[in-house]
Structure 1
Amino acid sequence: MPNDVLSHLAVHIRQTATTPPTLALDVTNNSPDTSLTILTWESPLDPAALPLGLFAITPDGARQPLDIPTIQIRRVMPPPRDSFVTLKPGETRTQEHVLREEIVPPADLGPNPKVAVRGTWMGVWTIPVEELTPGRLDNMYTDEERLSGPFEAGPFEVTVHEA
């Protein structure tokens, strides 16, 4: 059942700007009848997805992705309410990510790098966020209703224009 539920979460990459290169990651709940509550940490909906290492960026003409410096974030448990998103069937949420020059210099990318996003959902539930009480979230890694599994999107060809 977990893989079946998680398979309803689709991740899509699209470009929203070229200078600086900006990508939107869309997460859509393709379930016909089940709302899904997602912990956004280390997901495509995490504003820190780029420095956390979820992006694989392969320069134009290269065979291997860039070695991008990554960070670790220590987060307070249990996760606060604003760390969750509930998607109704057919609903999409988007998070934009700027390929910031200090992390990925445009000169290193070439005009058309390829970008992929990969990671693991830290927590997905088939219950509304209101039912995720602080006590339950304190023990979320042993919560039998928490689902976890891989996600990925891409590769997607990006257009880069140096400023």
Structure 2
Amino acid sequence: MTTSNTKSFPGLEFKLSQISKDPPSLLVTVKNNSPSSTFTFLKWGTPLDPQALNLGVFKMVDASTGKEVKIDHLMINRKMPPSRDDLQEVEPGTEQATEIVFDKPWMPDTNPAKYKVKVEGEFKGGWESPVSEVKAKDLKAYSDSSFANRAFASEETMLVVE
């Protein structure tokens, strides 16, 4: 996902893979394809955010009907500035992953079913450095960081619900 105003975060790639059908769960993996750069990003609004399913990061389409699944979005108030726990470091050639269980009230109750799922959005902040080098002043000015507002997206994957 690239627009004229935003570029992607160089070297970072999101992948989705199903790990359970009941409950329906995806493993979200972010991989750093850079051979030499360590990246740190603010998890807010990304698939690694604990609130990701509530923030509109995931896009779902019913595979049989082609209709988009309406996902309720919540407004989240965050404690400012972000804490170190809100950061994710990804070293060169490594990946970080988290399981996302699709168990929210907006999830259709049709079983069995198949959905095409992808993630897309923008990083709120990011740095080409290890988390240990991100200073308190950097956290306060996260929206001015070198990789703020950079787009992310994944390929579509199939989520099978039983």
Query: TM-score normalized by structure 1?
Result: 0.88
Q: For residues 53-72 of structure 1, what are the structure 2 equivalents within 5 Å? A: 53-72=56-75
1:50 aligns to 2:53 (yes or no): yes
Matched, 1:87 2:81: no
* Unpaired stretches in structure 1, ≥5 consecutive residues: none
SS at match of 2:156: strand
Contact 1:46 1:95 in 2 (8 A): no
Over 3 Å counting, the alpha-carbon distance change for 1:56 and 1:146 in structure 2 is: closer
Matched-pair contact (CA < 8 Å) for 1:37–1:125 = yes
RMSD (CA atoms): 1.8
Mapped pair 1:121 → 2:148 = no
Q: 1:119/1:137 Cα in 2 relative to 1: closer, same or farther (>3 Å)?
A: same
> 2:161, 2:19 → 1: CA distance?
11
CA contact (8 A) 1:38 1:84 kept: yes
Q: Does 1:77 align with 2:59?
A: no
Contact 1:106 1:160 in 2 (8 A): no
Query: How many residues get paired?
Result: 157
Residue-by-residue CA offset, 1:40-96 (whole Å, 9 max, x unaligned): 111111121111111111113222311111101111111111111111101111111
Q: Percent identity?
A: 30
Unaligned runs of at least 5 residues, structure 2: 1-5
Give the match's secondary structure for 1:154.
Answer: coil
1:57–1:116 contact (8 Å) kept in structure 2 = yes
**What is the alpha-carbon distance in structure 2 between the residues aligned to residue 75 and residue 97 of structure 1?**
21
**Secondary structure at 1:7 match in 2:** coil
Please tell me whether the aligned partners of residues 7 and 151 of structure 2 are also in contact (alpha carbons under 8 angstroms).
no
For 2:18 and 2:60, the matched residues in 1 are separated by 14
Q: C-alpha separation between the residues in 2 aligned to 1:90 and 1:20?
A: 31
Q: Secondary structure at the match of 2:150?
A: strand
CA distance in 2, matches of 1:63, 1:15: 20
Q: Which runs of 4+ in 1 moved over 6 A?
A: none
Query: What is the CA–CA distance in structure 1 between the aligned matches of 2:7 and 2:35, rounded to whole Å?
Result: 16
